[in-house]
Amino acid sequence: MARAAESRPHSRPGAPPITRRSGLTPRAVVVTILLIPPLCLATHHSELVLNGNTICGNFPPMGAVLMLLLLVSLGNTILARLVPRAALSRQELLLIYSGLVVAGGMPSFGFVSSLFCTLTGTYYATPANGWEALFFNYIPDWITVKDQRLITYYFEGLPGYMGVPYREWLPPLAAWLVFAMALFFALMCLASIFRRPWVERERLVFPLIQVPLAMTEHSAQQKWPSLRSPFFANRAMWLAALVPIVLYGLKEAAVYFPAIPSPTLQRISLDPIFNQLPWRAMRPFGLSIYFSLIGLTFFIPTDISFSFWFFYVLTKLQKVLGAALGYGAAASSPNAPSGFPYLDQQGGGAYLVLFAVYIWVARHHMRDVLRKTFYDAPEVDDETEPMRYRIAIIGFVLSYAFLVGWCRASGMAISVAVLFFALYFVYCFVLTRVVVEGGIMWSLAPLTPDKAMVAFAGSKVFSPQTLTAIAHQMVWVRKMRWILPPSLLQTYRLMPEMRISGSRLNWLLLFILGFGAVFSSYNLLRVAYARGVVNFMPFFVRGYPRFPYIRLANYLQNPGGPDPKSIVYALLGAAFTGFLAFMRARFTWWPFHPLGYAFAGTEQYWLYNELWFSVFLAWVCKFVVLRYGGHALYQKTQRLFVGFIMGEFIIIGIAFGIDAAMGTRGNKFLVP
């Protein structure tokens, strides 16, 4: 089946809207800002307090989708009857949704959760590990609060006579907020530069926007999206939505009524099958079904979805081969991030080559950007871009310089800071491509910058001050479950539907990011000091606050040189990615996409174990549809897979309300 036959999902489902007014209206902005606090509150309560489902730590953010659903199904339906002029247009609804998508990462893995893990790791300093004598002197006073009692109260809860120490937290939070806004602005500049080649020239699928586009469609006889819209009247959509609603509904009911049978949909272990060597190296190996991931993956080209699951299985077979040849899984040295088959290193090399490939593909556009920046070429039109090219280029350079200077003030050597953020931006660039082209819900980081530099240069070449400064960036760069550029590119892709052009949208997005970060920080401090972080989800308590300092202590106590095996496998990963990219560009029949191979080389490999089977199911479904029904059947079945996404999100939202009211902890449907 030729790739062209797969077609792309409709970018504008339904009839064209009657109104052509812009979505950037005062009331749309006010509604967006008013919805950010409840989104932050729900995120912290579900992800941290209840140790439940991820509200905003995935793509698309479930909280944003549910809020859009409520605005359309309840808000607009009621307003259309009572005060028709107050009903929100499609353009306004898409703007509100886009704002919530961008803000969604602030309370979760995009900023606040990761930041406070970084700032509070000193809680685990003991005489046994000797952290205080080893590196506390290298931690600047403005990085975190210096009063250890406040960090202890943060984990264990405040005494009844004390109030939340907001004033003491203000200086370090202000410093980190300035850092974050500079980083976000740099990423916004990159997204603005690459909007045109990815959206208009390559015409990437952007599967994440299919849900909001479908939800806000309306017929020619309607003025506003509501429950009477074609999307909500589609029986196929609701039939598909009933599948996760019923299955997850039984699982939720079984929590409170154990006699009710509960279906097992995630982490179905296949480990007993692989009981003998060398097949035991396949472990852990299992099946997980996520209906939202099946729905999103259905919209991407089959060569990408095939490559995602194929290369996962290939990595497992590499482990089997290693076991058969006697290679252990242990790291070859303290500075080696992993053992055979060195997936982190393969992924790191793959990301570098993919970055070079995508820059090469966009080389003509980049030439135009540079000509517009330095020579003001009149033939290069950037008036309708989210950001003028000159502002984007200069803004990125200045933001990059500020980030380097900030890290230098924290103790990091300038050369190390330059390389550190270069690697970080490369990873963000390629991960953005994985999300906007591959539709993956959870972005997975490859070999992180700190581990790459230590593996290639050795820890002994870095000063203790530099290693300590790097440690304060580890959670930030490792927890890439949510990164900003995919949300920005999704927003820019929706600009024609929102009737917005130019740079006005970016100013709103910057304000949303800052407001979301400030409110999320305030709320997390409030909840943490009231409840005690020791009662939160385990990764937030024991995992991420400790691992940067554990790794730092290892570097300082066991300095070493480069790891040759890491270098070799990174080069092999780079070479193989180059081969895949060449074959894909040269032969249309080539079935393997380099994104699939790069995605398989990830530090967070356990999360890939959760993804692969849902991606496989989506690939099978789309392959069968295209093979036996062609384009016509593909168009008809799209609503079924949007229904899978909606059904899963709806039942998870209902379950969150029940669990929050009952105080039930640890009840997850989206396991990662």
pLDDT tens per residue across span 201-252: 998 888 889 899 999 987 767 788 888 888 898 999 999 999 999 999 998 8
pLDDT > 70 fraction of the chain, expressed in percent and rounded? 93
CA 265 from centre of chain: 23
What confidence score (pLDDT) does residue 1 get? 39
- Under 8 Å between Cβ of 199 and 484: no
Q: Is-above-0.75 flag for pTM?
A: yes
- Give residues with Cβ within 8 angstroms of 480, minimum separation 6: 109, 427, 428, 431, 443, 444, 445
What confidence score (pLDDT) does residue 606 get? 66
DSSP helix/strand/coil, 286: strand
For residues 298-316, one letter each, b for 16 or more C-beta atoms within 10 angstroms of the residue's C-beta and e for the rest, the string is bbbbbbbbbbbbbbbeebb
What confidence score (pLDDT) does residue 604 get? 60
Q: Is the pLDDT of residue 622 over 90?
A: yes
Per DSSP, the residues of 420-433 read HHHHHHHHHHHHHH
Tokens at residue 112, please? 């606040």
From CA 429, how far away is CA 350, in angstroms rounded? 13
- Distances 611 to 212, 292, 608 between C-alpha atoms, Å: 23, 11, 5
pLDDT tens per residue across span 575-616: 999 999 999 999 989 999 999 998 887 756 667 788 899 999
Span 617-644, mean pLDDT?
93
What confidence score (pLDDT) does residue 296 get? 92
Q: Is the pLDDT of residue 478 over 80?
A: no
Mean of per-residue pLDDT scores for the chain: 87
- 331 dihedral zone (left: phi>0; alpha: psi -120 to 50; beta): beta
What confidence score (pLDDT) does residue 338 get? 58
From CA 355, how far away is CA 368, in angstroms rounded? 19
Q: Is the pLDDT of residue 663 over 60?
A: yes
Q: Is the pLDDT of residue 337 over 50?
A: no
Q: Is the pLDDT of residue 448 over 60?
A: yes
First to last CA, the chain: 34
From CA 603, how far away is CA 78, in angstroms rounded? 48
Q: Which of 190-204, 276-290, 383-397, 643-657 has the lowest mean pLDDT?
A: 276-290
How many Cβ atoms from other residues are within 10 Å of residue 233's Cβ?
11
Residue holding tokens 């606040």? 112
- 670 dihedral zone (left: phi>0; alpha: psi -120 to 50; beta): beta
From CA 170, how far away is CA 135, in angstroms rounded? 24
Binned at pLDDT 50, 70 and 90, residue 672 comes out as: low
Task: Give the bridge partners for 269, in sequence order.
Answer: 286
What confidence score (pLDDT) does residue 240 get? 95
From CA 208, how far away is CA 210, in angstroms rounded? 6
Q: Pick 450 or 7 by higher pLDDT.
A: 450
What confidence score (pLDDT) does residue 440 get? 81
Residue holding tokens 């490999």? 605
What confidence score (pLDDT) does residue 11 get? 43
Any idea where the domains of the chain sit in the sequence? 13-662
Q: How open is the CA angle 528-529-534, to the nearest 5 degrees? A: 55
Span 372-390, mean pLDDT?
89
pLDDT tens per residue across span 12-67: 443 333 345 788 899 999 999 999 999 999 998 888 888 888 888 788 888 999 99
Span 397-413, mean pLDDT?
96
